[in-house]
Structure 1
Amino acid sequence: MKKTWNVISSRSVLATKTKSHLKIAKDVEASKYFIHTSQCRVPYVDPFSNETLKIFNPKEYKYTNCTDDEAFITTNYQLNARQYFLHMNFPAIGRAVKVLNASVTNVRCCYRQIVRAGSDESADNAYNLLPCSIFHQDFKIPQHIDYIITECYLDNNKEQIVQKDAFSFIQQPEFNSNNSNNLPPTSSHLKKRKPSVLLLGIDSVSRINLRRTMPETFKYMQNNRWFEMEGYNKVGDNTFPNLMALMTSYNLTTATDKCKPESVGGLNKPICNLIWNNFKQFGYKTAYAEDTSWMSTFNYLKTGFQQPPTDYYLRPMMMAIPKQMKVKKMAGLAYCIGRKHQAEYIFDYALQFANAFPEDPLFGLFRANSFSHNSFGTTATMDMKMLEYLTKMESGGILERSIVIFFADHGIRWGSLLKLKSGFLEERLPMMFISLPSWYRNEYPDFVNALEINQHRLTSPYDIYATLKHVLEESDPEIEFSYLNDTVRGLSILHEIPENRSCIDSGITEHWCTCIPYEVLPSTDATATYVTVLVIDEINQYLDDINISSKCSLLELKSLKKVEIKMYELSNQSAYRITFEANPKKPKFQATAVYDKTSNTITTNVGEISRLDSYATTADCIDSKEAKKFCICANMKS
């Protein structure tokens, strides 16, 4: 069987060369890979290959403002007083209403407070919008108000609204008792300066696609000494398992069991172990914001949080504004809401949070889904805007106070990009960049050396959890918080990752592992076809086991699209990676199965089977998030 990865045969040639020639040959060989270690070789992918440029034209994706009008209302924050003020831009108001034969004196502006309003199972899914209160120039926002919608209208005709806008506020609690710090006292000489930790996430962006669609953002990070983890490998199919691995060190099975995200209060329980609770315990102020609220990580087909999970929490506002303001969609998602891109509300909140408390240690998670989740190309529209946010963080001193992690949960999970030869890697290698403050680099040079090495080692979300844990413990050496039971214990990337690390060592299962070379088999291979039929049987059995088979059609093999087999077989077992299309409705799947030649059986994890096309319109008859990718509703069969 001809091998498509000519690794073994090259060794005999290299053995005859001089040491200098040997080094040159190894460097050339390594340049063909993102990761090139003894146990992991991830092949290089050209982001601008000819086949990619056939489906991606950068000129088709340009940044555009959501509105061309001037802002009537802006906010001013006075740091010393910790107070926000609403400022009315009278010249802009006058220019806008002149065409309506009105003047500034005919305009009234009011604000509606947004408040979190639910309880029990609706605690994280309900808000109230209070009556509109008139305000005047430089109105001081009361400290109990966290978010508002402003409305400016003509005279007493509240129906003739000239402009709406929305604003969030990071308010300083009046009591300021720091009651979250329940740690025992430590010796003053052991206390160290605590860096803030800010996580900026974009959904569904591989490190390959970042270069393709956000070249200016990538160039900025390259030029400013951000560390890129080139071997960062996802550990689950969608956002929830990858983010839970990063935030709790739990795999999906454990996270589901301990956090019970579909049960009221499950995500708030201490056993759920979300790491922002540990940061809060160590004296950090915490924040969390995510856009596209109906599909956010902890709420899509889940109950969400019974109590706000962090000190500052933007969800009520992100639920309210799409209902109250004009929405423009792109790739099926709300791209603009009111006068701003939906993602801007998230990253503006990150800047607000960091600027409101410049002297305090902060932990924040800020994620955007709106411009990247449904299409790999639309990410390009926000390249310059993300560059703007990063440069603001630099000029405002935030990067000097904070460890900033710019990351994705996974790559794109369906669509034309996955049909390319590189599609397997596009899905499994999310971007992961890290910026360290200069003082932190100077104080911990060993961490810098480790990161420079680890950029070229295999890593996973479990390692980011271990790193966050490491940062906390380093800031207070007398304190250590233990892993809870059943966690996957990653390695801090501030220490050198072993060169011989494998996917098994990293908590990455076979289906998601990008390390092991596979070779291509004909799609007509009889054994591969048999294995595929067994995989489909497993899917059908899964639907039956969770009692939804009556709602979903029985799947049958339509065609086998691609077959790969692991190069290094284990005695009587072979690992198959198969891409296939099923009936009805032609859903496309990718699965990994270990086939035992002796027993003619397979071992596969149904939960890790990938759906390569969108299931948004084929699974409306069920609510189970994990089962949706397999369900073709029975009433759609014809």
Structure 2
Amino acid sequence: MDGPTPKDSLISLTTSKRKRDRSHEQLMRKQLLLLGVVFLSLVWLLFQKDTSMPSLHIPPGRIIDEEFQGQTAFLINTTGCKIPYMDPFDELIQKFITDIDPPKCNKFNIGRLVKADYDSVFIDFDVLNNISVDQNQVKCYYTEFWRIEQPLLKDGHYAANVDAEVRFSSKDIEIKNRTTIVNEEFIKVFCEIKNETIYKDYFAFPQSRKGRHREHNTVSISLIGFDSVSRLNLLRQMPRTVAFLKEKVISVEMLGYNKVGDNTFPNMIPVLVGRTVEEIKETCWRQENIFDNCSFIWNKYKESNFSTAYYEDATWMGLFNYQKYGFRKQPTDFYGQIFSLTAENDLGCDKRLNAHLCIGNRMVLSVLLESASRYIIGSRDMLTWSMFWTSSLTHDYLNLPRLADLPFVDFMENLFNNDIFNSTIFIFMSDHGIRWGGIRSTYQGYMEERLPFLFISFPEWFRNTYQLAIRNLKANRRRLTTHFDLHETLLDLVDLNNLQDEVIIERTNFLYHNARRGISLFLPIPENRTCEDAGITENWCTCYTSKSVSVSNPMVKQAALALVNFMNSLLDNHRECSQLNLHEIVSARIEQLMSTEESNDSINTKSTDYIVTVNTEPGNGVFEATVRHRIFSEDYTVIGDVSRLNTYGDQSKCISHYMLKLYCFCI
């Protein structure tokens, strides 16, 4: 670096007065210039703290949470909530991060004989050439199939298969001339040699629906979800995905995104309806039958002439279908439920716990992503709202999501190369973290279950047009947020006039005088927001800290017995289920609100909350709950839901209620 050194300055002081004065003036100018640069740099850094993501350069095998590197600070540090920072590669967690066998997608040993483009299917002649038979003997066909809509019933009591009846066409269409255009939405492909089937596959071709033509400065919405992935497990398992989201499309990551219920259903109903499960039971889902009477977010977009799509894999345990009836009438323009169910029932393979990992020779995730690409890219000229949800790789095991990393990056690169990120807002999210397995025996695993990931990417023109809304959203990344807030955000995007600066200012003023459970992420989330304000019950709140307590503590024993008695009370009217007995207290913690100066919440000094984990017999069930001990009355009460930390398999097959299956051990 050029400029005077200390030695040069010392020599200059021994020269003539004129030279000394000139040198002094030069030094002062350079020092002032340097101070100015430092000052401007500090101002820039302070401005960037809450308004932009740091640039991350991430190696393929591991992602560093660089924003917090070297800190023992808080992820969220407000007067209403403090969530501690946790290292995704903490020493106590490392033992749970293991290698995983890739799926065995080899239902047919001849390779993928038939493949598909955006509107056609074709025979892969490279694969065909490897079959040691006369190629002229190989004939490939496709058959259309579709969902059957059940007739409307006055009493509203529908059969369990109301959302699952399928019909196949009696006509098989031969795949000829290398490429065959497909005009049908769902098809089954099969290849034969002398009437013997040697290959099968399934393809979805979302058909163009009537929708509003996308004009300048209008935007489509696509929600893409991974079941059971915490923010930290996303960093561990899918580093390339995180790098793409942060670096290539400049997504905003919500660091304090807290779940509001146990499993997928009570977490996604707030996103899609804006209500709790208990609230929809009082309104649109009174008989706990079909969901047709509920007002879902996609209905709002339909009313504004958006084309809509909903598709999830592992459909048998899907959001609306696991121990539930689903829909009588197809809820969205493109509805992939019957396609996913039919394909997995026929060709599902490599099922390690609850979900098939493969459909024939492809990963289930790959089938979903191909269908999503066809819909999103094929509908690029119209306004669309879409939701694609995958559970196949992520629901059951902590380490399986890493197998989704490369396929998902390829999927996003394809969208990027087709300029989709310039016309679509993408919401990448999960419902909650992993709910069972060894990691859940740790405090970090307990916290991770409650902190799923949420990234939102916006077109550059959108960020420049709605600057105040985006500034608020970036500030909210360090606030306590929930699925209820995401619903309000989706409502705002139905009509972009909601995001004009003057409207945002007016709504902000109203918000400060009218507290709400769900707040759009385009509005400033109050700095003093608590779990209670946000609609998060105590047992799911991560704004609390806790410390271990001995399992031999008499009060812990009472809390454990109260938990077992509570579960038995739920099963009282079900004689097919055994009464549960306390076998072992696995662990216990005392919970308290993290110290804040202005928080509206406070721990009642007359009560103590215990987080207890118990093992019960019969069935070896492992359960966790928050139990409140009211000291003066010696009363022990379960607060919120009870979590099951291990799987139950067929233990509860004698009962169909989706919640009681967690506790029931069939006699």
Question: What range is the shorter-chain TM-score in?
Answer: 0.7 to 0.9
Partner of residue 49, structure 1: 90
Deviations 1:316-368 (A, max 9, x none): 11111123336233445210111211112222222111111212111111011
Q: Of residues 107, 112, 116 in structure 2, which corresponds to 1:75?
A: 116
Q: In 2 relative to 1, CA 385–29 (structure 1 residues): closer, same or farther, beyond 3 Å?
A: closer
Query: Is it true that 1:563 corresponds to 2:588 in the alignment?
Result: yes
Shift of 1:52: 2.0
SS at match of 1:449: helix
Query: Is it true that 1:611 corresponds to 2:644 in the alignment?
Result: yes
Partner of residue 117, structure 1: 148
SS at match of 1:240: helix
Q: Of residues 370, 375, 383 in structure 1, which corresponds to 2:392?
A: 370
Q: In 2 relative to 1, CA 85–386 (structure 1 residues): closer, same or farther, beyond 3 Å?
A: closer
TM-score in terms of structure 1 length: 0.84
SS at match of 2:544: coil
Q: Does the aligned pair in 1 maintain the 2:652–2:665 contact within 8 Å?
A: yes
Partner of residue 599, structure 2: none
Shift of 1:531: 2.2
Shift of 1:196: 0.8
Shift of 1:31: 4.5
Amino acid in the other structure paired with 2:203: F
5+ residue gaps in structure 1?
1-22, 78-83, 182-190, 481-486
Query: Is it true that 1:498 corresponds to 2:526 in the alignment?
Result: yes
Partner of residue 11, structure 1: none
Counting only pairs closer than 5 Å after superposition, residues 205-224 of structure 1 correspond to structure 2 as 205-224=229-248
Shift of 1:624: 0.8
Partner of residue 228, structure 1: 253
Counting only pairs closer than 5 Å after superposition, residues 321-340 of structure 1 correspond to structure 2 as 321-325=343-347, 327-340=349-362
SS at match of 1:625: coil
Partner of residue 464, structure 2: 442
Partner of residue 413, structure 1: 435
Q: Of residues 542, 550, 553 in structure 2, which corresponds to 1:514?
A: 542
Partner of residue 120, structure 2: 85
Partner of residue 540, structure 1: 568
Distance 2:468 2:516 in 1: 25
Distance 1:524 1:316 in 2: 52
Partner of residue 661, structure 2: 628
Distance 1:518 1:39 in 2: 17
Q: In 2 relative to 1, CA 326–63 (structure 1 residues): closer, same or farther, beyond 3 Å?
A: closer
Q: Does the aligned pair in 1 maintain the 2:105–2:360 contact within 8 Å?
A: no
Amino acid in the other structure paired with 1:518: S
SS at match of 2:403: helix
Amino acid in the other structure paired with 1:199: L
Q: Which stretch has the larger CA shift, 424-433 or 571-580?
A: 571-580
Distance 1:564 1:520 in 2: 4
Q: Does the aligned pair in 2 maintain the 1:123–1:307 contact within 8 Å?
A: no
Partner of residue 312, structure 1: 334
SS at match of 2:496: helix
Deviations 1:101-149 (A, max 9, x none): x12x22222111111125243331111233333242233323xx21101
Query: Is it true that 1:153 corresponds to 2:192 in the alignment?
Result: yes
Query: Is it true that 1:581 corresponds to 2:615 in the alignment?
Result: yes
Q: Does the aligned pair in 1 maintain the 2:415–2:421 contact within 8 Å?
A: yes
Q: Which has the larger radius of gyration?
A: 2
Q: Which stretch has the larger CA shift, 526-535 or 307-316?
A: 526-535
Q: Of residues 549, 554, 567 in structure 2, which corresponds to 1:526?
A: 554
Partner of residue 133, structure 1: 173
Deviations 1:384-422 (A, max 9, x none): 111111222211111111110111111111111101231
Shift of 1:76: 4.0
Partner of residue 471, structure 1: 493
Q: Of residues 418, 422, 433 in structure 1, which corresponds to 2:444?
A: 422
How many pairs align?
A: 568
Q: Which stretch has the larger CA shift, 579-588 or 288-297?
A: 579-588
CA RMSD after TM alignment: 2.7
Distance 2:139 2:102 in 1: 36
Q: Which stretch has the larger CA shift, 45-54 or 296-305?
A: 45-54
Query: Is it true that 1:276 corresponds to 2:301 in the alignment?
Result: no
Counting only pairs closer than 5 Å after superposition, residues 239-388 of structure 1 correspond to structure 2 as 239-260=264-285, 263-264=288-289, 266-269=290-293, 272-325=294-347, 327-388=349-410
Distance 1:449 1:458 in 2: 16
Distance 1:192 1:106 in 2: 52
Q: Does the aligned pair in 2 maintain the 1:118–1:127 contact within 8 Å?
A: no
Q: Does the aligned pair in 2 maintain the 1:251–1:488 contact within 8 Å?
A: no
Amino acid in the other structure paired with 1:124: D
Q: Does the aligned pair in 1 maintain the 2:205–2:374 contact within 8 Å?
A: yes
Q: In 2 relative to 1, CA 527–389 (structure 1 residues): closer, same or farther, beyond 3 Å?
A: same
Distance 1:612 1:309 in 2: 33
Amino acid in the other structure paired with 1:88: I
Shift of 1:514: 0.5
Query: Is it true that 1:40 corresponds to 2:81 in the alignment?
Result: yes
Partner of residue 163, structure 1: 199
Distance 1:591 1:573 in 2: 16
SS at match of 2:551: coil
5+ residue gaps in structure 2?
1-45, 47-67, 151-157, 505-514, 594-602
Amino acid in the other structure paired with 2:452: P
Distance 1:435 1:261 in 2: 37
Distance 1:302 1:488 in 2: 30
Distance 1:581 1:52 in 2: 22
Q: Which stretch has the larger CA shift, 241-250 or 66-75?
A: 66-75
SS at match of 1:354: helix
SS at match of 2:241: helix
Deviations 1:55-107 (A, max 9, x none): 222x4455887588554333344xxxxxx333334x3354033x12x12x222
Distance 1:573 1:263 in 2: 36
Query: Is it true that 1:108 corresponds to 2:108 in the alignment?
Result: no
Distance 1:28 1:632 in 2: 46
SS at match of 1:552: coil
Shift of 1:476: 7.0
Q: Which stretch has the larger CA shift, 61-70 or 367-376?
A: 61-70
Deviations 1:164-200 (A, max 9, x none): 2221112125xx4x5x99xxxxxxxxx9833111010
Q: Does the aligned pair in 1 maintain the 2:103–2:357 contact within 8 Å?
A: no
SS at match of 2:340: helix
SS at match of 2:538: coil
SS at match of 1:609: strand
Q: In 2 relative to 1, CA 53–63 (structure 1 residues): closer, same or farther, beyond 3 Å?
A: farther
Q: Of residues 402, 425, 429 in structure 2, which corresponds to 1:403?
A: 425
Distance 1:604 1:162 in 2: 56
Distance 2:347 2:291 in 1: 30
